[in-house]
Amino acid sequence: MDIENLIRTYLIWIENGQGKAKATIDSQKEDLRLLARYLKEESVRLEDVDQIFLQGFLDSLSLRYQATSVSRLTSTLRSFFGYLNVFYGLKDPSTLLQAPKREKKLPVWAASEEIDEILKRFDSSPKGILDKTIIMVLYCCGLRVSELCTLKQNDVRLNQKQIRVYGKGGKERMIPLVDACVLQMETYSQTIRKPTGNAGLYFFVSPKGKQLNRQYVYRLVKACALQENLSPQFSPHSLRHSYATRLIEKDTDLRLVQELLGHSDIATTQIYTHIDSSRLIDTIDLALPSPNLDLDSQALDQKSLNDNESKAL
């Protein structure tokens, strides 16, 4: 069987049949190209692939790639071989594959005070207004960068204080806007938004009137993070994490947070409860006595107090 043709038909299937996002399709395409190359190097036919062969493939990649990449590739293999099993009757050797364990890291986010300091830095120039609006919408709406750059003009309903967003897989959700964000978006829209050509379809346009791109947003957020001495890992997605963290801190129902973020699985949303818990622990640490406190002396003082009370009785 020609693996190149099978990969091609599989990618069409996950795009049209499952509605996968372009980024997911591109990632799986690269994963399966690695598989095709490995099959060719080892002179193994696709129909002869078994679990031992696939596990050896993953183990070889673990020497060159991070655990997150190999874990994603494992998921791709399971999906691909599941597809071949259903539509072509091939055996599925991927069901018992063992992916490397990924280290769980809490997302990078910023405190509301830090966001406030970022917003104070923007002036009233056209670029200042654009950049401030970008930061506010990312933070106040919890958008992904791709969602911000593709936000359509007719999906922005400032009079209703909401925007309509299309996330991964074209999934639609409505995001409410706080008053400050509405005011900033109105200022941007009415004073400096001057699109050219087809860019008029989009709410955000660059200073040159073109559709805003990811690179512009990324550079902007990195510059803001540098000015405020935030983590080197701080990125546009960190503003989305900050939005989610604020909601959890305000005891927002987890299902509502999931809906606002556009997560398909609530397990993805639950990571923000861990962020809130870690912050609570930090607060408790500050409130409790210092670990250098002389507990022995404290105990002796208490014993002396008890002895005196006993004598008084």
263 is catalytic: yes
**DSSP class of residue 212?**
P
Q: 176 pairs with which residues across the strands? A: 162
Tokens of 14: 């996950």
Among the listed residues 121, 168, 173, 222, the single catalytic one is: 168
Cα–Cα separations (whole angstroms), residue 153 to 80, 198, 203, 219: 38, 11, 4, 23
Among the listed residues 20, 72, 144, 241, the single catalytic one is: 144
- Cα(30)–Cα(32) distance, rounded to whole angstroms? 5
Place of tokens 């911000």: 148
**Residue 172 phi, psi dihedral angles, 5° rounding:** -95, 140
Q: 156 pairs with which residues across the strands? A: 163
Among the listed residues 20, 72, 132, 240, the single catalytic one is: 240
240 is catalytic: yes
Cα–Cα separations (whole angstroms), residue 97 to 43, 75, 93, 243: 21, 9, 8, 36
Task: Name 18's Cβ contacts closer than 8 Å, sequence gap at least 6.
Answer: none
Q: What DSSP assignment string belongs to 86-146? A: HHH----TTTT--PPPPPP-PPP---HHHHHHHHHT--SSHHHHHHHHHHHHHHHH---HH
From the CB of residue 12, how many other CB atoms can be counted at a distance below 10 Å? Answer: 11
241 is catalytic: no
89: left (phi over 0), alpha (psi -120 to 50) or beta: left
Residue type, 104: K
Among the listed residues 237, 241, 243, 246, the single catalytic one is: 237
Gap between the terminal Cα atoms of the chain? 95
Active site residues: 144, 168, 237, 240, 263, 272
